Amino acid sequence: NAGVTQTPKFRILKIGQSMTLQCTQDMNHNYMYWYRQDPGMGLKLIYYSVGAGITDKGEVPNGYNVSRSTTEDFPLRLELAAPSQTSVYFCAIQGEKLFFGSGTQLSVL
Amino acid sequence: RKEVEQDPGPFNVPEGATVAFNCTYSNSASQSFFWYRQDCRKEPKLLMSVYSSGNEDGRFTAQLNRASQYISLLIRDSKLSDSATYLCAVNANDYKLSFGAGTTVTVRA
């Protein structure tokens, strides 16, 4: 997926651990998003950013934090992982279309 | 009521068949409409935008019905490679897409 890079691809966390999901783009787009997708469910917006230094909550922000210090990077932070945060996480950028990274599969056990 | 709702399917069709399904949206102010395709454990990829007048891209036809607030996707001459989950996405011109949970299509030989 040229343009949007997500790391890691897979991760298993224990309850209460913290981690940061990384998202980096090289397309110089202002709009970036974090979605989560649970099995059989649609994509739910966690946080989004309209440019460096500007972030806002989406539909399901509880338990997450974000920052946007540069145009390129939009990391998602889980401070106290809970089983309910087991999901697949997608970062996306908005250019002419919404373009997704390849996702991070996270399990919290 | 969910913002965007889809029949989850699955639609199980033979090769060469035509399959069609809808997506309803609740926000009458919605301005932009899209169909995304998602393969198992992969990121969603834009299949096509949906325009007011309806549009076609090869074997795929998308329609918008504003009065009844739904969009549709029709796949003609189904191929095995069309097997996927199809997500509809809607936004009200605020750069935040709302996604349906997806319709699963399985094309059998």
Predicted local confidence at residue B37, as pLDDT: 97
Phi, psi (rounded to 5 degrees) for B77:
50, 55
Task: Report the residue of A4, A30, A37 to disrupt the B interface, i.e. the one with the largest count of B CBs within 10 Å.
Answer: A37
CB atoms A41 and B101 under 8 Å: yes
Whether the per-residue pLDDT at A54 is higher than 60: the answer is yes
Whether the per-residue pLDDT at B96 is higher than 90: the answer is no
d(CA B77, CA B9): 19
Task: Report the residue of A1, A50, A98 to disrupt the B interface, i.e. the one with the largest count of B CBs within 10 Å.
Answer: A98
Predicted local confidence at residue A40, as pLDDT: 80
d(CA A12, CA A20): 12
d(CA A67, CA A90): 16
Using the 8-state DSSP alphabet, how is residue A96 labeled?
A: S
Q: What is the mean pLDDT of chain B?
A: 93
CB of B41 less than 8 A from some CB of A: yes
Contacts of B49 in chain A (CB under 8 A): 97
DSSP string, B33-74: EEEEEE-TTS--EEEEEE-TT-EEETTEEEEEETTTTEEEEE
Q: Residues B9-25: pLDDT tens digits?
A: 899 999 999 999 999 99
Torsion-angle region of residue B102: left (phi > 0), alpha (psi -120 to 50) or beta? left
Q: Residues B20-46: pLDDT tens digits?
A: 999 999 999 898 999 999 999 899 999
CB atoms A43 and B43 under 8 Å: no
Q: What percent of chain A has pLDDT over 70?
A: 98
**Nearest by Cα to B82 from B63, B62, B60:** B60
Task: Using CB atoms, pick whichever of B44, B101, B102 lies closest to residue A100.
Answer: B44
Which residues make Cβ contacts (< 8 Å) with residue A104, sequence separation at least 6? A6, A7, A8, A9, A10, A11, A21, A88, A89, A90
Whether the per-residue pLDDT at A105 is higher than 90: the answer is yes
Per-residue buried b or exposed e for B24-58, using 16+ beta carbons within 10 Å of the residue's own CB: bbeeeebeebbbbbbeeeebbbebbebeeeeeeee
Q: Residues A58-104: pLDDT tens digits?
A: 999 999 999 999 999 999 999 999 999 999 999 999 988 889 999 99
Whether the per-residue pLDDT at B1 is higher than 80: the answer is no
Whether the per-residue pLDDT at B93 is higher than 70: the answer is no
CA distance, residue B56 to nearest chain A CA (Å): 18
